[in-house]
Amino acid sequence: MSTTGDKILDTALSKIGEKSLFTKELELALERNEVDLVVHSLKDLPTVLPPGFTIGAICKRESPYDAVVFHPKFVGKTLETLPEKSVVGTSSLRRAAQLQRKFPHLEFKSIRGNLNTRLRKLDELQEFSAIILAAAGLQRMGWQNRVGQILHPEECMYAVGQGALGVEVRAKDQDILDLVGVLHDPETLLRCIAERAFLRHLEGGCSVPVAVHTAMKDGQLYLTGGVWSLNGADSMQETMQATIHVPAQHEDGPEDDPQLVGITARNIPRRAQLAAESLGISLATLLLNKGAKNILDVARQLNDAH
């Protein structure tokens, strides 16, 4: 099915100003019982879902990193070794802000369209030296061979939920919830709950540069989160950790309100989910206390004004 975000291709995503760009038409079909479940890239799903919907499964995450695809004449280069003033295409304020800061010799320009369209624009127009895409999308399409460079967190942290698929269902449809619930990957779920809680508490969205990095190691969940000004000049990032044991799946008793950041996962212990949510909120609070709100407010105003 096509969505608003697929159709409005001449405007930067952050300017369209609609939270549910890639989800609205699909949710209408869900509401009308035309479909029973909808599969999204989790990073397209707002941290607060419309009433009556929930994310019933988060599948095991593909690579959450961003990838650089180079114009054929620059194959073998990296962002660092591209010529001065090379133009790099990305539709994401998050990527542009971080990469401008890291690679001041490059220029960043908005590029829209699905993967095929963007790759065609890169190859056929002489406008872009490279474009930045999610590695997961290229992997899913079988186009790994186009990846010229993977961006690691020290170069570019990823979007909340990037690389994971979320399955959205009607919140009261217990049969479907039970059916898709087995698809939850416990580690991905807990990392994404922490990431989504961080974003929700910061009130970040498409129109501000917010990025994260999470890792699970020896019962510890590590969350790094950052905010940037639009040009990357101002930035703030912090890391926090919490003890969370990735559970073997088991059945909990039914909860009154099982949703956390839009997600229902009855077969994963509630305690672990709450600990992940709490980590996200704590990190957001730390950044807000250190002045992140000012950076985000300015970014939002500038983005609205352009």
What residues are labeled active site?
A: 44
Are residues 294 and 210 part of one domain?
Answer: yes
CB of 167 within 8 A of CB of 38?
Answer: yes
pLDDT digits (tens, 9 = 90+) for 71-112: 999 999 999 999 999 999 998 999 999 999 999 999 999 998
CATH label of the domain that carries residue 288: 3.30.160.40
Render the burial of 175-207: b for 16+ CB within 10 Å, e for the rest. ebbebbbeebbbbbbbbbbbbbbbbbbbebbbb
**Per-residue pLDDT averaged across 2-21, rounded?**
53
Q: 152: how many CB neighbours lie within 10 A of its CB?
A: 11
Per-residue pLDDT at 7 exceeds 80? no
Q: Measuring CA to CA, which residue among 265, 95, 65 is closest to residue 182? A: 265
- CA-to-CA separations, 224 to 90, 141, 153, 211, 267, in angstroms, rounded: 23, 29, 9, 8, 27
pLDDT digits (tens, 9 = 90+) for 194-221: 999 999 999 866 668 999 999 999 999 9
Range of the domain at 48: 4-63+159-305
CB of 234 within 8 A of CB of 209?
Answer: no
Contacts of 111 (CB under 8 A, 6+ apart): 89, 90, 91, 118, 121, 122, 128, 131
| Length reported for the chain | 306
The span from the CA of 276 to the CA of 262, in Å, is 14
For 85, which DSSP code? Answer: T
Are residues 163 and 144 part of one domain?
Answer: no
Q: Containing H/E element for 239?
A: strand 235-243
pLDDT digits (tens, 9 = 90+) for 160-173: 999 999 999 999 99
Query: How high is the pLDDT of residue 119?
Result: 95
Are residues 166 and 83 part of one domain?
Answer: no
In percent, the amount of the chain with pLDDT more than 70 equals: 88
Mean residue pLDDT of the chain comes to 89
Of 79-93, 124-138, 223-237, 289-303, which gets the smallest average pLDDT? 289-303
Per-residue pLDDT at 289 exceeds 90? yes
Judged by phi (left if over 0) then psi (alpha if -120 to 50, else beta), residue 136 lies in alpha
Are residues 40 and 134 part of one domain?
Answer: no
Per-residue pLDDT at 18 exceeds 50? no
Are residues 172 and 45 part of one domain?
Answer: yes
Domain's final residue, options 126, 150, 174: 150
The span from the CA of 183 to the CA of 226, in Å, is 30
